[in-house]
Structure 1
Amino acid sequence: MIRLLWACLALCVVSSSKPTEKKSRVHAEEPLSPLEHDDNKNFDYDHEAFLGHDEAKTFDQLPQEESKRRLGIIVDQMDSNSDGFVSEDELKAWIKTVQRKHIYESVERQWKDFDENNDGLISWDEYKNITYGTYLDDPQADLEFNYTAMMARDERRFRAADTNRDLIADKLEFTAFLHPEEHDHMKDVVVQETIEDIDKNGDGFIDVDEYIGDMYTAEDHGQEPDWVESERQQFSEFRDKNKDGKMDKEETLDWILPSDYDHADAESKHLLHESDINHDGKLTKEEILDKFEVFVGSQVTDFGEALLRHDEF
């Protein structure tokens, strides 16, 4: 079943590009890949969940023996206490490390675009001038987007990330600006942006029609599919906790950033379940290599690519 349960994700802006009018939102229940998670068909979800679409495709194209060889090197890196096993905690820690690595690389790429004076900081003025410079020079030049509203939204997020209130972001603050979903003090702005994106009648809440409308438009698809009715039931039974017919800020937060769900924990448990042949609660290298197709193309192998670049393969 298709599930488009969104939370606010990072801004995707680069020098001389237009900011997107509607910020993208990550999936809440299935955030790591839009693919169906059905291991009876394939492990594509797991591959994209850990590595991303492009990297997973690259690794999937390797010959089987080469994939297994690289995976064996990665297993040694995952075994942090060198006891010959990969525990669930070690697998979870590895997944989180790779996730942080992707965030770090994203920030580094954009940092170079916005730190105009190379002082190791990014001011709001620097960000604004690079992102909205053309509009600021000639507000009538392009009326395709509501740049005034977009700029105000970006400034609000920038101020929320700017913990010392000087309108100048260091690396940590800029990371919170680009990836607010990863920082507790950014939760309010994540919720606010999400509600603004979905709340069509402007009442500050998300009702069931707005909730469904963010995922499905009848005129675009014809007859309503079964999953839409299932989502209506999800809204009634689980999203709308106080049963007033709409989601408020707290309910929206619980929807997009549930405190009782850890994606890395869930994925590590899944990989352990798929690969633990003797059911002892930990993985040997042999068990992982025997089930290499579960891991190949995942973010676990992303570190393998990094090792390859350093001639360690």
Structure 2
Amino acid sequence: MRCLCLLALLATCLSVALCKPTSEKKDRVHHSKDLGEREPTEEKGFQFDHEAFLGKEGAKTFDQLTPEESKERLGKIVDRIDQDQDGLVTVDELTAWIKRAQNRYIDENVKRHWKDYDLNQDGKVSWDEYKNTTYGYYMGEDFTDISDAEDKASYRKMLRRDERRFRNADKDGDLIATREEFTAFLHPEEFDYMKSVVVTETIEDIDKDGDGMVDLKEYIGDMYTPEQGEPEPDWVKNEQEQFKQFRDINKDGKMDHKEIERWILPGDYDHAISEAKHLIHESDKNEDNKLTKQEIINNWNMFVGSQVTNYGEDLTRKHDEL
């Protein structure tokens, strides 16, 4: 229902079936109100935290551990978050941990897959290396090996979008990406100079009538598909009001490029701080704006599904690896 970018890295490519172009819709950076501009009091359900920060598949990582194992390992993580060792986790400490987890995720993701694209091992990834690794299996002469016309058109579209993103990430225009440029290609939401291409991709995915803007129907349709006979949820009505009052700034009934950027990449918004405040609000029983280890463990099913545990991966690591 809701999308977030945590832009997926590309798998080892022995065939195109194992290799995912970056421009698939699920990899698009797209902040909904709940993540981007929510107040800490909103969205009390744990499922949002799990899927927003892990994706549906990543959220299943937690299921590998029993509740007892999870609580024990989460307690060890809390000891690391509590930097001054005073027995209390503050917003600042939790924010710093979430940012650390996010940065480690990106660094490890790039490192893990770098060798799959740097085919000549020169310490760089050229556009040709990426293209051939990602699309080469089916590419032939302009994807002639793909028989289905719709699939062929889809791959052509993804190739064009990947090339556009690669060219935007490639600062010097030589079509050869350094490690930093390749990171910007895979994780454009983390780089200011990539904002434009992130917004453009978001518009392309939501804009169904091809006018280069997003109207209310397209905005809601990207989040919610009604089932026959199902009453419209209250959150949909809230999103409609958000669109009319706050998203559509010039009140022309549509969001243009600038309005989309303000929505998905607000300059004054820090999602790590927002998530830290949200987690503390939901777990702080004595309302001192700090968390004890016990308060966190008591609410373990929320924490193990958020970035505080590095997308669940910290729960399956040994303590000395953290």
Q: TM-score, normalised by structure 2?
A: 0.79
User: Which deviates the most, 7-16 or 73-82?
Assistant: 7-16
Residue 269 of structure 2 is aligned to residue 261 of structure 1: yes
Any unmatched runs of 5+ in structure 2? 37-41
Of residues 23-32 and 201-210 in structure 1, the stretch that sits farther from structure 2 once superposed is: 23-32
1:10 aligns with 2:7: yes
Q: Distance in 1 between matches of 2:55 and 2:216?
A: 31
Residue 25 (structure 2) aligns with: 23
In 2, distance between residues paired with 1:295 and 1:112?
33
Deviation at 1:100, TM superposition (A): 1.9
| Matched-pair contact (CA < 8 Å) for 2:4–2:32 | yes
**Offset of 1:226 from its aligned partner?**
4.5
Shift in Å, 1:127: 0.6
2:251 corresponds to 1:240? no
AA aligned opposite 2:165: R
Q: Distance in 2 between matches of 1:230 and 1:47?
A: 22
1:75 equivalenced with 2:72 (yes/no):
no
Partner Cα distance (2:217, 2:47) in 1:
32
User: 143-152 or 88-97: which moved more?
Assistant: 143-152
Offset at residue 60 of structure 1 (A) = 4.8
Residues 8, 193 of structure 1: 8 Å contact kept: no
Counterparts of residues 5-154 of structure 1 (less than 5 Å): 6=3, 10=7, 13-14=10-11, 15=13, 16-17=15-16, 19=20, 22-24=24-26, 25=28, 26-31=30-35, 39=44, 43-49=46-52, 53-54=56-57, 56-60=59-63, 62-139=65-142, 140-142=144-146, 143=149, 144-146=151-153, 147-154=155-162
What corresponds to 2:318 in structure 1? 307
Query: Closer, same or farther in 2 for the Cα pair 1:69/1:217, shift >3 Å?
Result: closer
State the SS of the aligned residue for 1:86: coil
Question: Cα distance, 1:274 vs. partner?
Answer: 3.1
Correspondence 1:252 to 2:286: no
Give, in whole Å, the separation in 2 of the partners of 1:150 and 1:53: 23
Q: Which moved more, 1:225-234 or 1:248-257?
A: 225-234
The offset of 1:160, in angstroms, is 0.9
- Structure 2 Cα separation of the partners of residues 293 and 135 of structure 1: 43
C-alpha displacement of 1:79: 1.7
* CA deviation vs aligned residue, 1:85-121 (integer Å, no higher than 9, x gap): 3211010111111122222232233322211112221
Structure 1 CA distance, aligned partners of 2:70 and 2:232? 39
Residue in structure 2 matched with residue 225 of structure 1 by the alignment = 232
Stretch of structure 1 that moved more, 91-100 or 164-173: 164-173
RMSD: 3.1
Moved more, 185-194 or 61-70: 61-70
SS of residue paired to 2:121: coil
In structure 1, how many angstroms separate the alpha carbons of the residues matched to 2:50 and 2:215? 35
TM-score by length of 1: 0.81
Question: Matched residue pairs, number?
Answer: 301
When residues 134 and 72 of structure 1 are mapped into structure 2, their CA distance, relative to the original with a 3 A threshold, is closer
Aligned counterpart in structure 1 of residue 214 of structure 2, from 206, 209, 218: 206
Q: Distance in 2 between matches of 1:209 and 1:181?
A: 25
